[in-house]
A = this chain, B = another copy of it.
Amino acid sequence: MAARAPMRPLGTRPLKMIKKKPIKTWVTLDVIEKTGKKLSNWGKWGPKDEVGTLNFVGPKELVNAGKMIKQGKAFSLGLPFDQNGPQVGSGWGRRFNPIHAMLASGVDAVAGRLDSGKIRYADDFVMMPLQCGTQWDALGHIFYGDKMWNGYDARLVDSTGAKKNGIHKTRDRMVGRGVLLDIPRFLGGDYLEDGYGISNAELDACAKAQGVEVRRGDFVIVRTGQMERCLAQGDWGAYAAGDAPGLRFETCEWIHQKEIAAICFDTWGCEVRPNESTEAFQPWHWIVIPMIGITMGEIFYLKDLAADCAADRVYEFMFCGPPLPITGAVGSPINPMAIK
């Protein structure tokens, strides 16, 4: 199914692409193992922790987040959930786009089919993979070997759900100061070419150019422009699991050192694809979720927020992206808000 401009007509100006530079496939299983050991946060917040870097957000950070609201503008970063979503073709991991159906409708109501119940109403339900659209990965989503975040046995996520590191543990934690890093605008374009690998230096340089500081406990949202390119083309193509711009493996270090609460992207999987590894699929994931314990947001819709930040040069905001507390889930669909 073709992609659809989800909210407003997209302009017809040709989008300017930032070309990728060559990247090497240097990330062997050995490199992953050493990086994991080096950057592990296991035990940092005690042996019973299940929320990882969200611990970096404390009362002070929350109060500060509220201060970001100066103009009274709210932006939804959630892509519409419907059959026009990015799960096209076979659907990685058997994911599919949301299926929405009615239990009762206005047409039933007007036809008098509900009048015996003395109220005219519509009601509905949905079937959806929890990571089919704008989403959080729970810390139980990715494993390293036989373990997950904080050293828990991966088998604690069985067919009945996650007994540890489920998304419901983060139910009151997904709020804080948000920062947008708009990489293609910083580089003078509209979107990064698929395969463009963002480096630590570029993250820092972008923040500096934007006049914004990345702080401990921040929800860092990185724009690549890939989603907007797909929407403008009316075709998701290989957006889900195919080639994509994204973070280089070296940014594991950046994430660890910055002590941010979460990292979010407008792509399917945050990291550059093709990956810098032939031995692992999404090697950056192997580290950041199970070893660093960072919460990851994916498939964020950033067009409107990015345009506003470019216009007023304010790249910080209050961020609030509460997950659905689905017990034992390893992800959650969300509609994150950025409020300036």
Contacts and interface: CB of A to CB of B under 8 A. Distances in A.
B101 A103 contact: yes
Contacts of A119: 142, 280-282, 285-286
Interface in A279-319: 279-282, 285-286, 318
A107 B113 contact: yes
Given A73-B62, A111-B111, A279 B80 contact: no
B175 A118 contact: no
A90 B1 contact: yes
Interface in A148-165: 148, 153-162
Contact of A102 (B61, B153, B161): B161
Nearest to A89: B1
A35 to B, nearest CB: 16
Interface stretch (A186-194, A221-229, A329-337): A329-337
Nearest to A146: B110
Contacts of A327: 80-82, 84, 100
Contacts of A127: 99, 125-127
B128 A141 contact: no
A120 interface: yes
Interface stretch (A45-53, A63-71, A246-254): A63-71
Interface size on A, as a range, is 35 or more
The listed residue with most B CB atoms (<10 A of its CB), out of A105, A125, A153, is A105
A339 B323 CA distance: 15
A129 B100 contact: no
A325 interface: yes
A72 B78 contact: no
Interface stretch (A166-174, A204-212, A256-264): A166-174
A142 to B, nearest CB: 5
A59 interface: yes
Given A62-B74, A73-B59, A111-B110, A125 B130 contact: yes
A24 interface: no
Contact of A106 (B155, B285, B318): B155
A72 B76 contact: no
Contacts of A159: 101-105, 107-108, 113, 159
A144 interface: yes
Contacts of A95: 103, 123, 125
25 contacts: A66-B68, A76-B172, A78-B322, A80-B327, A81-B325, A83-B90, A96-B99, A102-B158, A104-B160, A105-B158, A107-B154, A107-B157, A107-B159, A109-B143, A110-B111, A117-B281, A119-B285, A120-B154, A122-B141, A122-B157, A123-B131, A124-B330, A125-B128, A175-B320, A175-B339
